[in-house]
Chains A and B, each alone.
Chain A
Amino acid sequence: MKLTVNGTDHEVDVEPEMPLLWVLRDELGITGPKYGCGIAQCGACTVHIDGEAVRSCQLEIGDLDGVVTTIEGLGTRAALHVVQEAWIEHQVAQCGYCQSGQIMSAASFLDTNSRPTDDDIDDAMSANLCRCGTYPRIRAAVKSAAAKLNGT
């Protein structure tokens, strides 16, 4: 089975039912996407497929249609994505375990709505669970990132 992750082509020998999350983590060693619940309730496993946020714990590899971007491919230490910059500026992460998924959700959301209202942010980001309670700073960071995207 073939897939493209962060611009690199891979071939894996796995059953089509294996969720993308476990192909990434245990077959390819790409550990930015996290396992938190396995039932699409926490969002820690969020990746982009052709730019759209998807819960990789629920996508069987056999159903994958598109190129995969994980947090590692969104931006790097040397070339941060605007959402990552905002997360660092606001010092969002505590344990950080949910933040790969939070950032991937925020990046995809801001791609479709670069001028979100507070309610838009609440709606878009409430499917990502954070157990440490970083929500006030997530709100602030999403707003900062949106402002930056709009050049304001």
Chain B
Amino acid sequence: MSQAGKIARRTFLIGSATIVGGVAFGTYLAKRAIPNPLLQDLADGEAAITPYVKIEANGITLITPRADKGQGSYSIQASLIAEELDIDPVTATISPGMPGPAYFNSAVLQEGVPFPAYDQGAVAETMRSFMAVPAKIFQMQVTGGSSTVPDSYIKLRMAGAVARETLKEAAAQRAGVSRTELKTDAGRVILPDGTQISYVDLAADAATIDPITDVTLRDPSEWRLLGKVNAKRLDMVAKCTGTEIYGIDYAVEGMVYASVRANPGIGGDLLSFNASAAEAMRGVQKIVPIKHGVGVIADNTWRAFQAVNAIECEWSAGPYPASSIEMFDILEKAVDNEDMYDHRQRDEGDVSGALERGEVIEATYRIPYLAHAPLEPMNAIARVTNTACEIWTGTQIPLFIRNKAAQLTGLDEEQVFVYVQPMGGSFGHKLEMTHVEQAVELAMAVKGTPVKMTWSREEDMTHDYPRPAAVSRGRGKVADGKVDTFDLSVSQSALTPNWFGRLTGTTIPGPDATITTGSWDQPFDIPNYRVTGYRAPDMVPVSSWRSVGASGNGFFHDCFLDELIHAAGVDPLAERIRLCLDDASRKVLETVGDMSRWDGSTPGENRGRGVAFCMSFGVPVAQVIEVTKTDAGIKIDKVFCVVDSGPVLDPTNFEAQVFGGVIFGLGHAMNAELTYENHAPQQDNFHAYEGMRLYQTPVIEVKALSNASKIRGIGEPGVPPAAPALANAIFAATGQRIRELPLNKHINFV
């Protein structure tokens, strides 16, 4: 049977949803057109030529449906539209729009296919193209998976071009000339005689003609906005003047303030509570029992915090093991346990045979649970009446929220309105909606009154659905100064089914690829090469954390490879380059060597240099880290980072995202973990969980290559190589091989 035949019969776990032999069914459904949601409430004289461009008397609105959690998605989406529409995006209103099926994300599921991203053969590409089908059917208006740019790159430029040509057609008809004679500039159509007609003036005419869809995108050499080094983010001035309005800042007239406490053992019940002290506190309006906990509605957030903390609660035990010790025991017992086998997407050569003879190198690695801890705690405003539910919140999943709110309130989905707000960070946290459900529950208790619910930092950190802990065992062999056998087993609780089940109530059959994402799919050619995922039982409910599966697998795969390379007695960079089978990835490794002047020597006494590589979300990233061993601990001196995500649309923000990824990866690798006792995390605020601070931040040099054939997102791929590059550098400087994160359990940092 052909490879495609085998694949079609398998059940795919595709990042967030499963198709069971469903391609044909899906194609049928996916061919149905989705109506343009902007047409629903258009006034006379207004035009919505595509779902992304709305023109009204007071100006142009660009719809940017991928949520901005700090990564700059609004700016890049607006620039993609504006590039073809011929407007200055600064002059437009930028709006996430109302959630709608038209805004499904065609790219977010693409790398869930069982092909490594560097495989761009016909079968792999065909399967990727199918992934838009479930994305459309499941209404995946999701921001995540570093998919905004790949999803938007053509779609939003097309939206701008269609709108431009349609406006030109309207002008052509009005002036009695041919559309081909017209030009556009700065929001105006220019007639052959030099007369200018503003787009706003043409809106009423444009609304009456069929959109011109036969358009050609401009060549990148003609771009005015994209790819320019002087690009400025549209939200920068607001964010530097305190005037950006995040969800937590939003105000609805007449709103009250609230907070909640839920069982610290997530999913456990509230057995009983005594709120008599809270009820007597100033400003408290109502005590409301909610699912798994209790909330307080008050006239000020701080008063709500004080009151909710004054409630005496008796909790049932959380529905999972009580302590980290028990959890890691379960994870360790699951590795290489055939009863826990989940999937094996890489099995080359004869690994079992090779490991039966000669000297086997074996090592066990561990990574902890991690909180997302964006600086803006979870919050939502909800107002529920008998005919509508309105929600204002920063979120990556507006349609899931709409559907859930409809269930909770008994209203139709069309009666639920989700107004997406800018987010003060997310890192995956805002792929969840427990806090929104709580806000809706509270709002149902005071119908007609808007309720702004805010989690305290302590509630946020202890009710984060964390990055799963994992254990990995590597076994390998070297021969003739080469890595010969690489066998990696990873055990982790399932992530995607856990998350999707929480959001939809639907269970997902089949394997969970996230267990080995970032290790099975690396572009190396090793004679005997195997990666196996073992699925530990569900424990703490878990979620996606910036770079998802690759956040841990990047560490496991690269550090164990580093161990084998050292055992082979060869140069860490040279051997990675020798093993690499993907041209773009090899170039990334070679370039990071040039940048760091890697010549195989140690950089000096008490100093060490480590290299690491991980391809995630299709983006090869190599990092070299230099450290110094001081009397007080390890100092990270410098990070060199080379990335190939295809053409860079905003070089300034691109560099910022790579800086952020490196710092996020390093800070957590050094300093952060959630440990559990009595079913709850012991770290409940930033004194115990801080990632990286400025004094520990190294100098970071970033270089972008564009040898890769596809355009990719860069929000996440900078993260995975940071932890292994640091651990490998510490080994080079000290001889100490640390196989457990955070590294500060074993070594100090300055």
Contacts and interface: CB of A to CB of B under 8 A. Distances in A.
Interface of A: 14-15, 18-19, 21-22, 25-27, 29, 31-39, 41-42, 44, 70-72, 74-77, 80, 84, 87-88, 91-100, 103, 121-123, 125-126, 128-139
Interface stretch (B481-489, B509-517, B691-699): B691-699
A126 B664 CA distance: 16
A36 B375 CA distance: 5
B691 A131 contact: yes
Nearest to B701: A136
B454 to A, nearest CB: 7
B424 interface: yes
Contacts of B694: 121-122, 125-126, 128, 130, 135, 138-139
Contact of B241 (A26, A37, A38, A75): A75
B232 A26 contact: no
A134 B656 contact: yes
Contacts of B235: 93, 96
B237 A77 contact: yes
Given A41-B686, A41-B687, A93-B240, 12 more contacts: A26-B300, A35-B377, A36-B377, A38-B305, A39-B457, A70-B242, A75-B241, A91-B656, A93-B239, A95-B423, A126-B694, A133-B663
Given A44-B375, A96-B235, A139-B694, A132 B70 contact: yes
Contacts of B233: 91, 93
Contacts of B691: 129, 131
Contact of A122 (B69, B71, B246, B695): B695
A98 to B, nearest CB: 5
A123 B696 CA distance: 11
A22 B456 CA distance: 13
A76 B282 contact: no
Nearest to A39: B685
A84 B237 CA distance: 8
Ranked nearest first, the 9 interchain pairs of A and B with the lowest CB-CB distance are A32-B242, A95-B70, A97-B424, A96-B239, A133-B663, A71-B242, A133-B660, A22-B302, A31-B249
Contact of B697 (A18, A41, A74, A135): A135
A22 B300 contact: yes
A94 B656 contact: yes
Nearest to A138: B694
Contact of B240 (A27, A44, A87, A122): A87
Contacts of B238: 96
B186 to A, nearest CB: 22
A14 B302 CA distance: 11
B373 interface: yes
- In this complex, the member of B240, B376, B661 whose beta carbon has the largest number of chain A beta carbons within 10 angstroms is B240
Interface string B633-676: 00000000000000000001100110111111001000000000
Nearest to B693: A126
- Tell me whether chain B's interface is mostly helix, strand or loop, or mixed: loop
Nearest to B68: A95
A99 B236 CA distance: 10
Contacts of A88: 232, 236-237, 240
A87 B454 CA distance: 29
Contact of A31 (B245, B656, B660): B245
Most interface-central of B70, B72, B699 (chain A CB within 10 A): B70
B652 A99 contact: no
Contacts of B686: 36-37, 39, 41-42, 129
Contacts of A97: 70, 246, 374-376, 424-425
Contacts of A42: 375, 686
B502 to A, nearest CB: 23
A99 B685 contact: no
A129 B457 contact: no
Nearest to A104: B242
Interface of B: 69-72, 232-233, 235-246, 248-249, 251, 257, 282, 300-303, 305, 373-377, 423-427, 454, 456-457, 652-653, 656-657, 659-664, 667, 685-687, 690-695, 697, 699-700
A134 B375 CA distance: 13
A53 to B, nearest CB: 15
Contacts of B427: 131
Contacts of B71: 94
Q: Which secondary structure dominates where chain A touches chain B?
A: loop
A38, A97, A103, A121: most-surrounded residue (chain B CB, <10 A): A97
A86 to B, nearest CB: 9
A37 B424 contact: no
A96 B249 CA distance: 13
Given A95-B69, A131-B691, A138-B694, A84 B240 contact: yes
5 contacts: A37-B457, A88-B237, A94-B660, A99-B239, A131-B427
A70 B243 CA distance: 11
Contacts of B662: 133
B750 to A, nearest CB: 11
A77 B660 CA distance: 26
Nearest to B69: A95
B243 A38 contact: no
A76 B375 CA distance: 24
A93 B236 contact: yes
A125 B685 CA distance: 19
A22 B301 CA distance: 7
Contacts of B243: 32, 72, 77
B659 A99 contact: no
A134 B236 CA distance: 13
Nearest to B452: A26
Contact of A134 (B241, B373, B457, B660): B660
Nearest to A139: B694
A101 B301 CA distance: 20
A84 B236 CA distance: 10
A71 B375 contact: no
A36 B236 CA distance: 20
Given A35-B454, A39-B685, A95 B692 contact: no
A19 to B, nearest CB: 6
B690 A41 contact: yes
B245 A95 contact: no
A87 B660 CA distance: 16
A22 B302 CA distance: 6
B401 to A, nearest CB: 20
Contacts of B232: 88, 91
Given A136-B699, A139-B694, A71 B69 contact: no
Nearest to B248: A35
A81 to B, nearest CB: 9
Contacts of B456: 38
Contacts of B246: 34, 97
Contacts of A122: 694-695
A96 B426 CA distance: 12
B545 to A, nearest CB: 12
A3 to B, nearest CB: 16
Given A18-B302, A39-B685, A44-B375, A135 B663 contact: yes
